[in-house]
Amino acid sequence: MNIKKNFIKVLGKKYQLDNTTEHKIWSTQVSNLEWCERYFKIMNKHPHQDETNQYVVIGNLEHAVFESFAQKTKSQWLNKGGFHESDLEKTYEIIDKIIEIELGFALENYAQFGNYIEHMIPSLKNRLRILARRQLNEAIELLKKGLSVQDITEKILPWQIERPLYSQNLRLAGRPDLIYRYNGKVIIVDLKSHNDTEDAFNHSAQHFLQLLTYSVMYEELFHEKVSEVQIFYTKNLKTSSIKVNKALKDNAVEQILKARSFSTHEDIPPKLSGDEAYKCDYCYIRERCFATEDYEPEPDDEVTFTTRGEFE
């Protein structure tokens, strides 16, 4: 097979590219490869296979509710001339309405998980109320310091929600949950709804890599540097963050190119073993993975690859 080479320049650094990877890939695919090569290949070969379970449904519901709450709060604040503790009652009504709408949608489409969904609603409502109180108290304090309602809104609430991003150079696409932009500082945030803190910790490296790919795309599109990326855990309202620097972005670009090259492989790597095998206990597709047969390339295959996605 004759493979043509060309070069691209990303973040001031030149990278070699080949013509087998001209198709678009997604940020989630890059993070999947960070987690496990086998996970990456199975998800690529069967991306639409139904993996719906109560955890996926509840996670999607939490995303929808938290994002809708951010949008509704932003609209409410921008239409006001100030902030008062009495505003909480109106905010609680907004929370109840958002949950009512999203709960109805979830029950209509995933009735088989109705008991799980309804069981988590009181907790979800309580967490949103706690978040609303935190945000309002912060807004009141900032107002006392002389900040305008516009500045307070931009500081506390996201500038963009589910904003599609794309890199023409890397042919990469993604959609972060939230983007904050205030006073020259850009922060990209993803919402995660892990029930278990250990599970969240074990997946944090792949989640941060996904966020860093967003930062690479954002800088290409808006010509602004991303200062920080964050994971906001909806179950405990805590945030984990890292400062973005060039070394982290360069590594993200290398992982993007690796994922694009690796996506052309036909073989499905073996299951994890040794020190990496613990990941199987925390894998989102464990059952599907263990039921999948490994693929053996045909003897006349013209090109083979290393497990790192490089040509041999």
Strand locations in 140-206, DSSP E? 160-161, 165-167, 172-174, 178-182, 185-192
Nearest to 284 by CA among 36, 25, 48: 36
pLDDT at 51: 62
Distance CA 141, CA 308 (A): 51
- Computed over every residue of the chain, the mean pLDDT equals 85
pLDDT digits (tens, 9 = 90+) for 43-78: 877 665 556 788 889 999 999 999 999 999 999 999
pLDDT at 17: 60
Output the furthest CA–CA distance in the chain (Å, rounded): 73
pLDDT at 132: 97
Please state at what angle helix 27-35 crosses helix 204-222, rounded to 10 degrees. 150
pLDDT at 298: 46
Can you say whether the dihedral through the CA atoms of 71, 77, 83, 89 is positive or negative?
Answer: negative
Residues 6+ apart with CB under 8 A from 162: 67, 175, 176, 177
Distance CA 108, CA 110 (A): 6
Residues 6+ apart with CB under 8 A from 119: none
Rounded to two decimals, the pTM is 0.85
Q: 267 pLDDT band (50/70/90 cuts)?
A: confident
pLDDT digits (tens, 9 = 90+) for 34-52: 888 888 888 877 665 556 7
pLDDT digits (tens, 9 = 90+) for 129-153: 999 999 999 999 999 999 999 999 9
pLDDT at 189: 98
- Judged against a pLDDT cut of 90, whether residue 292 lies above it is answered with no
Distance of CA 37 to the CA centre of its chain: 19
pLDDT at 285: 82
pLDDT at 12: 56
Residue percentage of the chain with pLDDT more than 70: 84
Average pLDDT over residues 284-310: 55
Q: 1 pLDDT band (50/70/90 cuts)?
A: very low
The encoded tokens of residue 311 equal 């040509």
* 238 beta partners: 233
pLDDT digits (tens, 9 = 90+) for 176-210: 999 999 999 999 999 999 877 887 888 889 999 99
Lowest mean pLDDT, pick from 16-20, 82-86, 87-91, 102-106: 16-20
pLDDT at 82: 81
Residue percentage of the chain with pLDDT more than 90: 58
* 3 state DSSP class of 8: strand
Q: How far is CA 179 from CA 25, 183, 201, 288, in A?
A: 21, 13, 22, 34
pLDDT digits (tens, 9 = 90+) for 96-124: 999 999 999 999 999 999 999 999 999 99
Q: 2 pLDDT band (50/70/90 cuts)?
A: very low
Identify whether the C-beta of residue 27 lies closer than 8 Å to the C-beta of residue 210: yes
